[in-house]
Amino acid sequence: MNVLNDLLKSFVTQCQKILGDNLVGIYLHGSAAMGCYNEKKSDIDLLIVVNEIIPNDIKHRFMDMVVELNTYAPPKGIELSIVKREVCNPFVYPTPFELHFSIAHLEWYKTDPLDYIDKMNGIDKDLAAHFTIIYHRGKCLYGKDIKNVFGTVGKENYFDSICSDIEDAETEIMNNPT
């Protein structure tokens, strides 16, 4: 039994039920898509694309599902963002997102889910790097083909995304060497 594949299948099935016709696609990126996934050190990186804004009651159902499935994930957990299709092609930078989750935010959601859902949206420069990986190495788990959903990310945006991500690396390396 492959825990990762079972988890991804369950995730896809639950997303289809919760998001319905609003769901455009579910895309795997990061180490699991590139063949270097390590259960002890990797997280599971997902990007979900929707057509329209997700109402808060649906976000709540979605997040409850993610938190439940995260209990079966590897120690680094699930990391995901939900974006609207209109920001994928042509690519919008910095990229707006509808919802984000990582284990870094797990306690916030568990403690105050309404606050989390209300505030966990905005823009994220890091999505330029995720879109680039999806475009070149990602895997479509469900929905429309990658090349039909995502446009290319310009080099300037990609490099700015990487630079923003490592901006605090010199001080953060002592706390988080990976």
Q: For 10-56, how does the pLDDT look when each residue is reduced to its tens digit (9 = 90+)?
A: 999 999 999 999 999 999 999 999 999 998 999 999 999 999 999 99
Instruction: Render pLDDT for 98-144 as a digit per residue (tens, 0 to 9).
Output: 999 999 999 999 999 999 999 999 999 999 999 999 999 999 999 99
pTM of the prediction? Answer: 0.93
Task: Count Cβ atoms within 10 A of the Cβ of residue 40 and give its class: 0-12 exposed, 13-18 middle, 19 or more buried.
Answer: exposed
More confident residue, 142 or 165: 142
pLDDT band of 1, cuts 50, 70, 90: very low
Residue 164 confidence (pLDDT) above 60: yes
Alpha helix (H) ranges present in the chain? 3-19, 31-34, 56-70, 106-111, 113-119, 127-137, 146-149, 155-165, 169-172
pLDDT band of 85, cuts 50, 70, 90: very high
Residue 65 confidence (pLDDT) above 60: yes
pLDDT band of 177, cuts 50, 70, 90: low
Rounded mean pLDDT, 154-176: 81
Distance from C-alpha of 68 to C-alpha of 109, rounded to nearest angstrom: 12
pLDDT band of 176, cuts 50, 70, 90: low
